[in-house]
Amino acid sequence: MLEVRNLTVKVEERVVLRGVSLSVNAGEVHAVMGPNGSGKSSLAYTIIGRPGYEVIEGDILLNGKSVLEMSIDERSRAGILLAFQEPPAVKGLRVAVLATAALNKRLGAPDLTKPADPSIPERIYSILERVGLPSDYAYREVNVGFSGGEKKRHELFHVLLLDPKVVILDEPDSGLDVDGVRMVAEVIKELKNRGKAILLITHYARLMRFVKPDEVTILYNGEVAARGGPELAERVEAEGYSFLNGGGR
């Protein structure tokens, strides 16, 4: 479904990814691990087409077709969605208003404010419940005063709401307590069962105790340093990333 081919990326004249290749199929979880600053978020931003992430070499393909010429909006409409590591707060914009606008946009409705489909409000409430946010959060301003864990829940709320084909989760477990991590794992399993292709970016291996990845790639200094199955995540959990210094790859 998603294929990253020999990707080299520059941000502000600095190379942040070098020759990175990986792929993820429908119904699979591909975990991307690596120490801080190894390029995990840069990979996510480049895939969604965030301005400033300049592809120097390589390609990104969705179902065999390059998305490089597509804007961030076009890629989103094509079904690529990123749940951000650090989602921003948006003062004055309520959760339900953003959610309705996002769904309306998907449905091609000209008016973004009125639900284009009568089932939208009910969907918003049921998905809020699914991610463990009380229903009055529909009327809260997006991420304003949210705890770290609530921001993560709100990101997952959007993933379930927009129902993309390719889901990139950037550290969805950071800042969550153990129940939160379990909830994230349940949502990932649900997405997997629904045939989504999931790129799971995570610094720690603990989430993978609850959801086994089909493949694990470790980035180090912007390059693929190791690749394997779930046992690679277990090794990181046991040893940290020190074994990469001995020349992983």
Ligand X SMILES: Nc1ncnc2c1ncn2[C@@H]1O[C@H](COP(=O)(O)OP(=O)(O)O)[C@@H](O)[C@H]1O
DSSP 11: E
Tokens of 234: 């277990």
Token pair 């989602």: residue: 87
Nearer Cβ to ligand X, position 63 or 174? 174
- Segment near Mg ion (CB under 5 A); pick from 6-14, 41-49, 50-58, 240-248: 41-49
The least CB distance from residue 245 to Mg ion, in Å, is: 20
The least CB distance from residue 41 to ligand X, in Å, is: 3
Which residues have CB under 8 Å from 101's CB, separation 6+?
A: 112, 113
- The contact set with ligand X (CB under 6 A) reads 11-12, 14, 16, 34, 36-42, 52
Q: For helices 120-130 and 95-107, give the axis angle rounded to 10 degrees.
A: 120
Angle 28-64-4 (CA atoms, 0-180°, nearest 5)?
60
- The separation between CA 248 and the C-alpha centre of its own chain, rounded to angstroms, equals 26
Between CA 229 and CA 246 the distance in angstroms is 20
The least CB distance from residue 237 to ligand X, in Å, is: 17
Identified binder of Mg ion from the candidate list 20, 22, 24, 41, rule CB under 5 A: 41
Nearer Cβ to Mg ion, position 150 or 170? 170
36 makes contact, choosing from Mg ion, ligand X, none, with CB < 5 to 8 Å by partner type, with ligand X
The least CB distance from residue 180 to Mg ion, in Å, is: 18
String marking each residue 80-99 x if it binds Mg ion according to CB under 5 A: -----x--------------
The least CB distance from residue 194 to Mg ion, in Å, is: 26
Token pair 């606008």: residue: 101
The least CB distance from residue 160 to ligand X, in Å, is: 24
DSSP strand pairing (14-24 vs 2-11): antiparallel
Angle 22-49-236 (CA atoms, 0-180°, nearest 5)?
40
Q: CA distances (Å), 123 to each of 51, 76, 103, 130, 136, in order?
A: 32, 20, 10, 10, 14
- Segment near Mg ion (CB under 5 A); pick from 36-44, 93-101, 177-185, 232-240: 36-44
- Segment near Mg ion (CB under 5 A); pick from 37-45, 48-56, 95-103, 116-124: 37-45
38 makes contact, choosing from ligand X, Mg ion, none, with CB < 5 to 8 Å by partner type, with ligand X
Residues that bind Mg ion (CB under 5 A): 40-41, 85
